[in-house]
Amino acid sequence: MLEDRATAVSSPTQWPAAYPKGYAVVDVETTGLARDDRIISAAVYRLDERGEVEDHWYTLVNPERDPGPVWIHGLTSEVLDGAPLFGEVAEEFAARLDGRVLVAHNAVFDWQMIAREYARARREAPVRQRLCTIALSKELGLVLPNFKLESLAAHFGVVQQRAHHALDDARVLAEVFRPSLRAAAAGGVRLPLLECRPLTEWSDRPVPRQSTGGYGGYRPGGWRPARKRPACPYPNPGRYEDGERLKQGMRVAFSGDTSTERELLEDRATEAGLHVAGSISRLTSLLVTNDPDSGTSKVVKARQFGTPIVDEAAFGQLLRDVEPAGE
């Protein structure tokens, strides 16, 4: 276990030759999680191979639509109306990413949002690999109450000043990534790098813009209007099997704290064609939890029924390639 060394470790004298030569620590704030949601702000901290900050960059982005959960990110339509479009900042953003490993908290989400924005702009983001700090924390064996960024920050003594502000979240992530990287190098840990492939699927569903407040159809406490989630149109194909793909129609339940807002994860699962279940039964295909030893009622029932359990990061990876119903 590396948790003791991970909190305060000096840079090793022999740096692993296989480690990347530079990193781009990224955070984006968005209008939501679906394929037609947009980036509204982005920040990048460029780090050298040992995790030292080289520079940082931040921009607002006009999404040309309702900004979504203003109560979370604080960016109203009025604030964003004068911001540049993504296509106008795409070149500068790309220059910050070029030749570096993209580092983010729940990196699959940030990567997909960035890749779709570049696809809309008829361009390709110059990113070939990403590293998720949730996955790295697990590789290091860090003892955390959950995998939210605030918990990781507290572990390393980093003070958050403006949660859900892209620039401050990126700063916090850069400060916790540096000791994590050094602990990994000192312990000979293989970094959990994943390939980044350009995305081509995206949509631009029209979303009303609001002249006051920018809330649109969103309300505090939920990402959709006050109505029940639509029924999943696909039959349940059964339980998820380790190493296989998720299939449309699978019943997925969530338990415990997540680094992403729970309702955002549920929206994303629904968008992919999964059935979001509020409880565990013998028909549940998969339970998503970052704390499988928590002893919550859902975890206990999942153990009793033999329901497969994965963490949030793994679920994010699975959502990238959900098998269509009937295949």
pLDDT (0 to 100) of residue 228: 59
Q: How confident is the model at residue 327 (pLDDT cuts 50, 70, 90)?
A: low
pLDDT (0 to 100) of residue 218: 41
pLDDT (0 to 100) of residue 207: 55
Cβ contact 81:62 at 8 Å? yes
Which region among 206-210, 212-216, 247-251 has the lowest average model confidence (pLDDT)? 212-216
114-140 pLDDT, tens digit per residue, is 999 999 999 999 999 999 999 999 999
User: Strand, helix or coil at 297?
Assistant: helix
Q: How confident is the model at residue 248 (pLDDT cuts 50, 70, 90)?
A: very high
- Residues contacting residue 222 through CB under 8 Å, at least 6 positions apart: 263
CB under 8 A, 24+ apart: contacts of 109-112:
109/33, 109/260, 109/316, 110/26, 110/27, 110/28, 111/196, 112/199, 112/320
- Residues contacting residue 212 through CB under 8 Å, at least 6 positions apart: none
Is the per-residue pLDDT at 27 higher than 60?
A: yes
| Highest-pLDDT range among 62-71, 170-179, 291-300 | 170-179
pLDDT (0 to 100) of residue 30: 93
Structural domains of the chain ordered from first start: 23-195 (3.30.420.10), 251-319 (3.40.50.10190)
Burial of 81 (0-12, 13-18, 19+ CB in 10 A): exposed
Instruction: State mean pLDDT over 152-167.
Output: 94
- Could you give the C-alpha distances from 121 to 35, 110, 197, 207, in angstroms and in order? 15, 17, 16, 19
pLDDT (0 to 100) of residue 212: 39
Whether the full predicted model's pTM is greater than 0.85, yes or no, is: no
Instruction: State mean pLDDT over 164-186.
Output: 96
Specify which residues 27 forms β-bridges with.
43
Q: Determine the Cα–Cα distance for residues 192 and 188; give it in Å rounded to an integer.
A: 12
CB atoms inside a 10 Å sphere around CB 196:
21
Dmax over CA atoms of the chain, in Å, equals 58
Q: What is the 3-state secondary structure (H, E, C) of 258-291?
A: CCCCHHHHHHHHHHCCCEECCCCCCCCCEEEECC
Cβ contact 38:31 at 8 Å? yes
CB atoms inside a 10 Å sphere around CB 114:
26
The DSSP result for 159-187, as a single string, is: PPSSTT-HHHHHHHHHHHHHHHHHHHHHT
Q: How confident is the model at residue 227 (pLDDT cuts 50, 70, 90)?
A: very low
Which tokens is 154 given?
Answer: 């507290």
Instruction: State mean pLDDT over 86-103.
Output: 97
